[in-house]
A and B are shown apart, each in its own frame.
Chain A
Amino acid sequence: RKEVEQDPGPFNVPEGATVAFNCTYSNSASQSFFWYRQDCRKEPKLLMSVYSSGNEDGRFTAQLNRASQYISLLIRDSKLSDSATYLCVVNGAGANNLFFGTGTRLTVIP
């Protein structure tokens, strides 16, 4: 079983729409959670950390549900510039590294 699983999409949404991505993780002892953004042919970049209480950064809201072992990312008022692949990232308990999902591709359409 993969450490992290995401719906690969693609999600095609119009500008201004709200879109949500979910991700599940397999290790119930995981403690650190992140969302990364990756543009085509570029390196992944940290979008935001995910805290137990949920957190918001402008149009982006991340939430963690430990009981169900899933993480979500909500993007409000989508912009063309939000078009990218979003990677769900989790640390493996006892592991010295992060595990990356395969990513969910988002395209925002004018």
Chain B
Amino acid sequence: DAGITQSPRHKVTETGTPVTLRCHQTENHRYMYWYRQDPGHGLRLIHYSYGVKDTDKGEVSDGYSVSRSKTEDFLLTLESATSSQTSVYFCAISEGQGHYGYTFGSGTRLTVV
């Protein structure tokens, strides 16, 4: 399997607290993505990165920020967690755009209480 790991795997946090999820890859892929998956909505893009310090918003970026200071790490931060951000978060990597599929991490199950 591709070298992509997410941490933590599970987290329970309180409303209003900041939370950071980490995605780490050992494939040296340029592109990294954060998705959330919710029943009835499927996977929705939060943010993505196309290189170190190069990031852009996806369709559900409100309340989230990202950082990529190294090729291998892509961090997702919930600035002030809300119950609507309870979800499963998947990180994905890709060699390039368009014709390249994605490889996903195992996911982080986040519960905001």
A100, CB-defined interface residue at 8 Å:
yes
Stretch in contact with the other chain, from A13-21, A38-46, A68-76: A38-46
Cβ A31 vs Cβ B104 within 8 A: no
- For A43, the chain B residues whose CB sits under 8 A away are 90, 104-107
- Specify the chain B residue showing the minimal Cβ separation from A103: B42
State which residues 64-86 of A face B: CB under 8 Å. Answer: none
Mask, B65-84, CB within 8 Å of A = 1, is 00000000000000000000
Mask, B102-113, CB within 8 Å of A = 1, is 111111000000
A97, CB-defined interface residue at 8 Å:
yes
State which residues 35-94 of B face A: CB under 8 Å. Answer: 35, 40-45, 48, 50, 56, 58, 90
Cβ A101 vs Cβ B42 within 8 A: yes
Interface residues contributed by chain B, number (CB under 8 Å)? 25
- Specify the chain A residue showing the minimal Cβ separation from B43: A100
- For B56, the chain A residues whose CB sits under 8 A away are 96
The 9 closest A-B pairs by CB, nearest first: A102-B42, A43-B104, A100-B43, A46-B101, A32-B99, A100-B42, A97-B45, A32-B98, A34-B101
Q: Identify the B interface with A (CB < 8 A).
A: 31, 33, 35, 40-45, 48, 50, 56, 58, 90, 97-107
Beyond A97-B45, A100-B43: 20 further Cβ-contacts under 8 Å? A31-B99, A36-B101, A42-B106, A43-B106, A43-B107, A44-B90, A44-B104, A45-B104, A49-B99, A89-B101, A91-B97, A91-B98, A96-B97, A97-B48, A98-B101, A100-B35, A100-B42, A101-B42, A102-B41, A103-B42
Q: Identify the A interface with B (CB < 8 A).
A: 31-32, 34, 36, 42-46, 49, 87, 89, 91, 96-98, 100-103
